[in-house]
Amino acid sequence: MKIEKNFEKQFLEVVELIKNARYQALKNVNRELINLYWQIGAYISEKAAKEDWGKGIVVKLSLHLQNTLPDLSGYSPQNLWRMKQFYETYCKYPKLSTLLRELGWSGHLHILSKTKSIEEKEFYLHLAIKEKYSVRELERQIDSGYYERFMLSKKKAPAALTQIHPDITNVFKDTYMLDFLNLPHAHSEKDLQKAIVQNLKDFILECGKDFSFIGEEYRIQVGKNDYYIDLLFFHRGLSCLVMFELKIDDFKPEYIGKLNFYLEALDRDVRKPNENPSVGVILCKSKDDEVVEYALSRNLSPALISEYKTKLIPKNILEKKLHDFYLLSDKA
């Protein structure tokens, strides 16, 4: 039976109520499950400390649970031991208690096994919950060294940019991982642009889910001439237009002039009265940080210089880069 359009609109509210109730029910189930795993982890941890429980006894506990409650799943010896690890990792950080119960168990397992410091763990907890990542999406962000790249970007943000957009350091990265584009080593700017548009979902995942795509080759007219911006987005959190200029070579200082011209055109002719000043990102294949610092030192426009990589950088290299950066910061 076909529903009339005027009724469809009225019924949307009921549909949303049902969807929201389902979502809340799933959240409540997850909270209770994580709370249960926490309690089991605490129990095993206490027994291990006071009565010398080892993995052998945990195997027996697992078998007992399977025999006593055969309809249950998720209580293998390995998973029970992970519950112990989960409890012992976070028991000294009560401020994370609420946060822990917002993420599913599979997500927790990835964070526990693939991160080192408590700061890194807390970062991914916040990120996964804020962005509503699937397990696959969270895994990719950890494997791509999102935390290290984020921290490096935060330290390098130009002062002119943070004055205009104080929250800018939480949005943009110093290095973008575009391994999902499957680009050959030798590629043109057109190839790069086309590949990003064809893999837009993954590109927005890499950038952040607050980005909304407006268009490619976005035309702006100044005087009698037409100019084209490679990629144009809108960022909901910053409430501003964000343009990406794509370069397949090393950053050159002269790129800044073109970027500033485009930003001025966007702010004069495209930006709406309620929106903040536009942000420009030059996304290049590589960059010299000293050249970038010189180029931006007198630049007043909200501009960023980032590089892209077509293959994932091993996490240990990113960790060393971040460590070296902290050492240099301490000496400065």
Signed CA dihedral, 282, 288, 291, 294: sign only: positive
Is residue 300 located within the same domain as residue 177?
Answer: yes
Is residue 280 located within the same domain as residue 162?
Answer: yes
Q: Which of 58, 91, 124 is the last residue of a domain?
A: 91
Phi-psi sector, 309: left (phi>0), alpha (psi -120 to 50), beta: beta
Q: Which residue has the tokens 């006593």?
A: 68
Residue 134 is assigned to a structural domain of this protein: no
Is residue 169 located within the same domain as residue 86?
Answer: no
Is residue 214 located within the same domain as residue 321?
Answer: yes
- C-alpha gyration radius of the chain: 25
Is residue 164 located within the same domain as residue 82?
Answer: no
Q: What is the pLDDT of residue 99?
A: 93
| Prediction pTM value | 0.77
Which among 196, 158, 150, 140 has a CA at the least distance from the CA of 174?
Answer: 150
Q: How many domains is the chain built from?
A: 2
Residue 16 is assigned to a structural domain of this protein: yes
How far is the C-alpha of 86 from the C-alpha of 161, rounded, in Å? 39
Is residue 57 located within the same domain as residue 167?
Answer: no
Show pLDDT as tens, one digit a residue, over the chain (332 residues): 555 666 666 677 778 888 888 877 887 889 999 999 999 999 999 999 999 899 899 999 999 998 998 888 889 999 999 999 999 999 999 999 999 999 999 999 999 999 999 999 999 999 999 888 999 999 999 998 999 888 887 666 666 666 767 777 778 888 999 999 988 888 999 999 999 999 999 999 999 889 999 999 999 999 999 999 999 999 999 999 999 999 999 999 999 999 999 999 999 999 999 999 999 999 999 999 899 989 988 888 888 999 999 888 777 777 777 776 665 555 54
How far is the C-alpha of 72 from the C-alpha of 105, rounded, in Å? 16
Q: Which of 66, 91, 116 is the last residue of a domain?
A: 91
Is residue 161 located within the same domain as residue 82?
Answer: no
Residue 103 is assigned to a structural domain of this protein: no
Is residue 74 located within the same domain as residue 191?
Answer: no
How far is the C-alpha of 83 from the C-alpha of 81, rounded, in Å? 5
CATH at residue 164: 3.40.1350.10
Q: What is the pLDDT of residue 234?
A: 97
Residue 68 is assigned to a structural domain of this protein: yes
Residue 307 is assigned to a structural domain of this protein: yes
Residue 299 is assigned to a structural domain of this protein: yes
Residue 176 is assigned to a structural domain of this protein: yes
Residue 174 in contact with residue 186, Cβ under 8 Å?
A: no
Residue 87 is assigned to a structural domain of this protein: yes
Is residue 301 located within the same domain as residue 202?
Answer: yes
Q: CA torsion 124→86→136→172, rounded to 10°?
A: 0
Q: Which of 35, 61, 91 is the last residue of a domain?
A: 91
| Tokens describing residue 279 | 């942000």
* DSSP at 181: G
Q: Which helix (H) or strand (E) holds 202?
A: helix 200-207
Quote the domain boundaries for residue 10.
Answer: 5-91
Helical residues (DSSP H) of 144-280, grouped into ranges: 146-156, 159-164, 189-198, 200-207, 255-269
Is residue 83 located within the same domain as residue 164?
Answer: no
Q: What is the pLDDT of residue 200?
A: 96
Q: What is the pLDDT of residue 330?
A: 52
Is residue 79 located within the same domain as residue 183?
Answer: no
Is residue 301 located within the same domain as residue 194?
Answer: yes
Give the largest Cα separation in the chain, rounded: 83
